[in-house]
Amino acid sequence: MKIKISILSISILGVILSLYTLIAGVTYSQTLNNWIHFSLLIILLLISIIGILLNFEGISIYRNRVRFR
């Protein structure tokens, strides 16, 4: 249960941080930090996608365990 909650919080945090980096990248696109924001955005989007997929996998595994009992 704790593992599922932590994976869910990591995925939510990744989504929030990727939205923040997207907004920051759009507002500061004229500066030289655009590549840094873009790479951070890609990394955080990958982390959030992996976290969401792991969360759905954990939920399906948990439901299958309950069903087989």
Confidence of residue 46 (pLDDT cuts 50, 70, 90): confident
- How far is it, in rounded angstroms, from Cα 12 to Cα 27? 23
- How far is it, in rounded angstroms, from Cα 49 to Cα 43? 10
CA atoms within 13 Å, Cβ hemisphere of 6: 3
| pLDDT 10s digits, 4-39 | 667 667 667 767 776 776 676 666 655 556 677 677
- How far is it, in rounded angstroms, from Cα 63 to Cα 9? 20
pLDDT (0 to 100) of residue 36? 72
pLDDT (0 to 100) of residue 38? 73
- How far is it, in rounded angstroms, from Cα 67 to Cα 24? 45
Question: Which residue range(s) make up the domain with 38?
Answer: 2-68
Indicate the number of domains in the chain: 1
Q: What is the largest CA-CA distance in the chain?
A: 58
pTM, two decimal places: 0.42
pLDDT (0 to 100) of residue 32? 55
